[in-house]
Amino acid sequence: MKSTMWARSACALGMMWTLVACAGPRSAASPFGPDTVRERARKLALTPYQKPVASLPPAYAQLTYDQYRDIRFRPDKARWRDAGLPFQAQFFAPGFFYTSPIPMHEVDAGRSEPIRFSPELFSYGPLVKDLPDSPIAGFAGFRLSHPLNRAEYFDELVAFLGASYFRALGRGNVYGLSARGLAIDTALPEGEEFPNFREFWMEKPAPGADRVVVHALMDSPSVTGAYRFVIIPGERTVMEVEAQLHARKAVKRLGVAPLTSMYLFGENDRGTLDDFRPEVHDSDGLALWMKNGEHLWRPLQNPAHLSVSNFQVEGLRAFGLMQRDQDFRDYEDLEARYDKRPSVWVEPVGDWGRGAVQLVEIPTHQEIDDNIVAYWVPEKPFTAGSELRLAWKLTWGSGSPERPREALTTATRIAQGSTPGARRFVLDFSRGEGAEVQTPVEAVVTTSSGRVLLPTAQRNDATGGWRATFELVPDGNTPAELRCFLRSGSETLTETWSYPWTP
């Protein structure tokens, strides 16, 4: 079972979630405008980085995992509850991993007021004893709720907790993968740097508002940033993100709009795991859509060794970590309900220029590990003193926000081939929305090494979609980069399936 705490391990890279910084809230209301956080980030980048310092009373800092879980925010104390507004805010208590409280503010009519920590905001279970009523300068994080699934109940909609991590839900979803403000030096030998959201401002929503706005100040040894999130709940919850980044020093690998997920095994990559469930994952593939109309699908894997894949893109339309398998029978897990985990789709706003989508896959033997990361890497270096402004849209929910004409990959299966040493690949595609096929359909298969044998394509009468099969005869121990799509004459019927196969 997954922990409800967000501090998941990523041992293969030596990752540890950093603690958020401590800074005391202002003592009185102060003006707040569109440039307030941007100016803070710009000035902060001109000063040396100061490592967050734990500033909690020992009784809070020494809480165990079970004790921390026994502290719960009281729903009757939710921010904006008494005002009858369409959004409510609750807060996570500091303690356990979260020993550097984060200042929170409410913005209303152009003025910012600090939100004070108080023990009276929380209920304390039997495992928590003798917590002092000491002054604490903030919270561990926060969550926003909204009548997402039914009008009479405020469901949890989005949560920000730990470093620059956050996650959200579409209608009918349960929490799965996360997003981050920024990824720095992921999968590099010297280790990853985890930026922190050091301070938050929440704009008080108007009566009847269909959206809520959150601002965040980010800080790390290499980068500072100002973020603005416009959160719009719905069947698929949309987050409009604006970021202004400042480099204190050169960044070797800048990961924009990073997504973090878990993949233990699926139908293509079960390995030797002894488990009653057919699949275990928060996401099963990386989807890439190009502005030239090309669609690419890369099934995820749990590799034997750290794997980093680069997809060079000049005109990126969108990318996302998707959970395409959404039938309970795909997982048979009554507790985790992986069939209800959302996909997350990243759409650049404006021209991001040349760059690459990078996919990092980390070996793991347990489902509590977030071992999948995907993000955009700009081609232009982010050098010391540089400023970068970017905007993107995140869509959280089941499926993709648009229905493409091409059929989508629904399954990848691999087995022994008909000749010695060969591997057989069986790919299933959905029906698609294209015109009725009038000419023979062929499977177009390419490989970077080895030989492809017996490529075939046929209708899948059971699903109404398509099935492609082929065999790969490898070239010794040389890895192969495989691609496959179906076409009928000059018409492309499916997205392009892409798969790295290692002997």
CB atoms within 10 A of CB 491: 15
Q: Identify the CA nearest to 448 among candidates 475, 425, 421.
A: 475
DSSP β-ladder status, 165-168 and 111-115:
unpaired
The whole-number average pLDDT for the span 225-252 is 98
The residues, any chain, with a CB within 8 Å of residue 129's CB and separated by 6 or more, are none
Mean pLDDT, the chain, whole residue set: 92
The answer to whether 239 and 229 have CB atoms below 8 angstroms apart is yes
The 3-state secondary structure of 245-281, one letter per residue: EEECCCECCEEEEEEEECEEECCCCCCCCCCCCCCEE
Q: Given this model, what pLDDT does residue 434 score?
A: 56
Topology of domain 11-397 in CATH is Beta-galactosidase; Chain A, domain 5 (2.70.98)
- What the block records as the tokens of 251 is 């960044």
DSSP β-ladder status, 387-397 and 237-247:
antiparallel
pLDDT category of residue 24 using cuts at 50, 70 and 90? very low
On the question of pLDDT at 126 being above 70, the answer is: yes
Fold equal for 11-397 and 409-501: no
Q: Given this model, what pLDDT does residue 19 score?
A: 30
The whole-number average pLDDT for the span 229-240 is 98
Q: Buried b vs exposed e over 442-459: b needs ≥16 C-beta within 10 Å? A: bbebebeebebeeeebee
> Among positive and negative, which fits the CA dihedral 57, 61, 65, 68?
positive
The answer to whether 459 and 257 have CB atoms below 8 angstroms apart is no
> Which residues does residue 356 pair with via DSSP β-bridges, in sequence order?
312, 377
pLDDT category of residue 293 using cuts at 50, 70 and 90? confident
Q: Given this model, what pLDDT does residue 121 score?
A: 96
Dump pLDDT digits (tens) for 303-321.
999 999 999 988 899 999 9
CB atoms within 10 A of CB 471: 20
Q: Given this model, what pLDDT does residue 257 score?
A: 98
Dump pLDDT digits (tens) for 380-411.
999 999 999 999 999 999 988 887 889 999 99
Q: Identify the CA nearest to 73 among candidates 91, 95, 50, 54.
A: 91
Q: Given this model, what pLDDT does residue 476 score?
A: 93
The answer to whether 324 and 410 have CB atoms below 8 angstroms apart is yes
The whole-number average pLDDT for the span 16-35 is 58
On the question of pLDDT at 18 being above 70, the answer is: no
pLDDT category of residue 14 using cuts at 50, 70 and 90? very low
Which homologous superfamily does the CATH classification assign to the domain defined by 409-501? Immunoglobulins (2.60.40.10)
Half-sphere exposure of residue 104, counting CA atoms within 13 Å on the CB side? Answer: 26
3-class DSSP assignment, residue 353: coil
The whole-number average pLDDT for the span 54-71 is 91
Q: CA-CA distance, 285 to 309, in Å (whole number)?
A: 13
On the question of pLDDT at 2 being above 60, the answer is: no
> Among positive and negative, which fits the CA dihedral 484, 488, 490, 495?
negative
Q: Given this model, what pLDDT does residue 6 score?
A: 44
- What the block records as the tokens of 97 is 């991993």
Instruction: Walk across the sheet containing 423-429 and list its strands.
Output: 409-416, 423-429, 465-473, 451-460
Phi-psi region of 191 (alpha: psi -120 to 50; beta: other; left: phi over 0): left
Q: Given this model, what pLDDT does residue 314 score?
A: 81
Q: Given this model, what pLDDT does residue 503 score?
A: 86
Dump pLDDT digits (tens) for 74-114.
999 999 999 999 999 999 999 999 999 999 999 999 999 99
- What the block records as the tokens of 129 is 């004893």
Q: Given this model, what pLDDT does residue 400 score?
A: 84
> Among positive and negative, which fits the CA dihedral 448, 451, 456, 462?
negative
Domain boundaries, the chain: 11-397, 409-501
On the question of pLDDT at 365 being above 70, the answer is: yes
Torsion, CA 104, CA 238, CA 302, CA 407, rounded to 10 = 180
Q: Given this model, what pLDDT does residue 402 score?
A: 81
On the question of pLDDT at 247 being above 50, the answer is: yes
The whole-number average pLDDT for the span 430-451 is 86
On the question of pLDDT at 26 being above 60, the answer is: no
Q: Given this model, what pLDDT does residue 493 score?
A: 94
> 373 vs 399, which has greater pLDDT?
373
